[in-house]
């Protein structure tokens, strides 16, 4: 009996765990059985899908393609069975979503109630983190990223761009003075981030070029929302996206500084998903609903 769907499920688990033994443990199979099933797929296709020479299994180019297509086919199968079981053609299933804390709280979360009104049978598994997640390893369907994208097989859907402002609470500026140039930052508490990709520098324009200014402060946080709250509390200066602090600026809780010196650099915002030719219905429905609304909320560099 042809059981290619079962073999695909095994291969997907191997690809996501990077280990025959861990995949076997999760699937309640023996490692030798898992290895044989992957070998059977390779023999049938006539290509190597997994490199076994390293401590952690690595997918070949063919393996990555097979993994992506397997995810799409298995998702389609889930959609089909759930739709038939419920006696309704309505879209159902789970969409696993990752976003930064700020983007999730201020832009994405407000859209979800209306999304569920349109698609009540879709479950959104939402994780908010400023860490960059691996969509394959974390089994994530859609990830919203701010900033430059690394080259990958993922498909990027542009949302827009956000201008970053240097902001502070009026109370902080009253106590410490308003910086007029980047050299004034030496005497200020510049709130920063502690994740690995973050550098303790803020970019400024000087003599027609961009100069990175090293900054220091009493806080290093793993998410922008904590930095925002500390800035509102009068702790120090913060460099944050426009969508993140626009309401605070309008309400007078924060004010911008050093705009002319370059506190207005712009970063792209994209939605990423796996590069499959056939996107499962639940993921397509989610993207079709939230992307245009996020574009309207964020704008193009505002």
Tell me the per-residue pLDDT of 193-247, one tens digit each, with 9 for 90 and over.
987 666 788 888 777 778 888 899 999 999 999 999 999 999 999 999 999 999 9
What is the rounded distance in angstroms from the CA atom of residue 172 to the CA atom of residue 160? 31
Question: From CA 152, how far away is CA 142, in angstroms rounded?
Answer: 14
Q: Which of 27, 69, 29 is nearest to 45 (CA)?
A: 69
Q: Are 210 and 203 in contact (CB under 8 A)?
A: yes
CATH fold, domain 4-86, is: Arc Repressor Mutant, subunit A (1.10.10)
52: Cβ contacts below 8 Å, ≥ 6 apart:
none
For the 91-301 domain, the top CATH level (class) is: alpha beta
Task: Tell me which long-range contacts 51-57 makes (C-beta under 8 A, separation of at least 24).
Answer: 56/18, 56/19, 57/14, 57/18, 57/19, 57/20
Q: Can you give the pLDDT at residue 256?
A: 95
- What stretches in the chain show pLDDT beneath 50? 1
Q: Which tokens sit at 22? A: 């861990």
Q: What is the pTM of this model?
A: 0.70
Backbone angles phi, psi at 57, to 5 degrees: -60, 140
The confidence score (pLDDT) of residue 278 equals 67
Distance, in Å, from the CA atom of 124 to the CA atom of 208, rounded to the nearest integer, reads 46
Token digits of residue 93: 């299933």
Task: Check residue 54 and give its pLDDT.
Answer: 57
Long-range contacts, 216-221 (Cβ 8 Å, 24+):
216/190, 217/188, 217/189, 217/190, 217/191, 217/192, 218/189, 218/191, 219/189, 219/191, 219/192, 220/192, 220/193, 220/194, 221/191, 221/192, 221/193, 221/194
Expressed in angstroms, the distance from the first to the final Cα of the chain is 58
CA distance 130 to 103: 9
The pLDDT, as a whole number, for residue 276 is 59
The residue ranges of every structural domain in the chain are 4-86, 91-301
For residues 301 and 299, what is the distance between their CA atoms, to the nearest angstrom?
6
Q: Over the range 66-103, which residues count as b (16 or more CB within 10 Å of their CB) and which as e? A: bbbbbbbbebeebbeebbeeeeeeebbbebbbbbbbbb
């Amino acid at each position: 009996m042809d059981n290619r769907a079962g073999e695909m499920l095994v291969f997907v688990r191997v690809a996501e765990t990077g280990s025959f033994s861990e995949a076997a443990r999760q699937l309640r199979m023996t490692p030798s059985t898992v290895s044989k099933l992957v070998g059977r797929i390779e023999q049938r296709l006539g290509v190597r899908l997994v490199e076994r020479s390293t401590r952690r299994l690595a997918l070949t180019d063919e393996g990555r393609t097979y993994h992506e297509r397997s995810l799409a086919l298995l998702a389609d199968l889930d959609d089909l069975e759930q739709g038939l079981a419920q006696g309704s053609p309505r879209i159902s299933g789970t969409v696993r979503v990752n976003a930064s804390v700020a983007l999730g709280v201020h832009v994405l979360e407000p859209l979800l109630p209306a999304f569920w009104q349109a698609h009540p049978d879709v479950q959104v598994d939402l994780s908010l983190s400023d860490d960059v997640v691996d969509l394959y390893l974390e089994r994530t369907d859609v990830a919203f990223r701010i900033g430059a994208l690394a080259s990958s097989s993922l498909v990027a859907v542009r949302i827009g761009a956000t201008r970053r402002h240097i902001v502070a609470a009026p109370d902080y500026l009253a106590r410490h003075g308003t910086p007029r140039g980047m050299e004034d930052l030496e005497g200020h508490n510049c709130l920063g981030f502690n994740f690995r990709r973050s550098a303790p520098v803020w970019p400024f324009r000087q003599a027609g070029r961009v100069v990175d200014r090293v900054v220091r402060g009493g806080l290093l946080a793993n998410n922008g929302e904590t930095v925002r709250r500390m800035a509102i509390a009068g702790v120090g200066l913060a460099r944050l996206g426009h969508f993140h602090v626009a309401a605070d600026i309008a309400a007078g809780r924060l004010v911008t500084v050093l705009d002319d010196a370059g506190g207005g650099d712009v970063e792209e915002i994209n939605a990423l998903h796996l590069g499959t030719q056939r996107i499962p219905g639940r993921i397509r429905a989610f993207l079709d609903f939230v992307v245009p609304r996020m574009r309207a909320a964020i704008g193009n560099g505002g």
